[in-house]
Amino acid sequence: MSNANSDEFLPLSDAEFHILLILAGREHHGYAIMKTINEHPDISYFLGPATLYRTIRRLLERSLIEEIGDRPDQENDDERRRYYRLSGAGHRVMVSETERLSKLVSIAKDWGLGLGASA
């Protein structure tokens, strides 16, 4: 991915986007990713465990995230947990996807579909 164009991964699926978004903030283990997405008051997307782990596997294969060996709290942590972080490539893809989505929102606003627009 180091020489690849980040646009080749676009558009991201909803699951990919949400997982990468959560990992852009900090590293998490799988269950924490799912819980953060499902409980965030401003995220209206539900991520189930099968989709979560299938998507994590795909993101790892594409080198958009990486598994980390260090555990933040080794004494109070379950050793079965796998922690993930956004890779450099994943960060570039998120920047590209965010720019792509921003352009679409801008077009929608230009066409009268912005916030507060009435039907």
Q: Is 98 exposed, middle or buried (0-12, 13-18, 19+ CB in 10 A)?
A: middle
Mean pLDDT of the chain: 89
User: What does pTM read for this prediction?
Assistant: 0.85
Domains: count for the chain: 1
Domain limits at 31? 9-110
| Mean pLDDT of the 76-81 span | 71
Asked whether residue 97 is assigned to any structural domain, the reply reads yes
pLDDT digits (tens, 9 = 90+) for 7-45: 899 999 999 999 999 999 999 999 999 999 999 999 999
- The CATH number covering residue 96 comes to 1.10.10.10
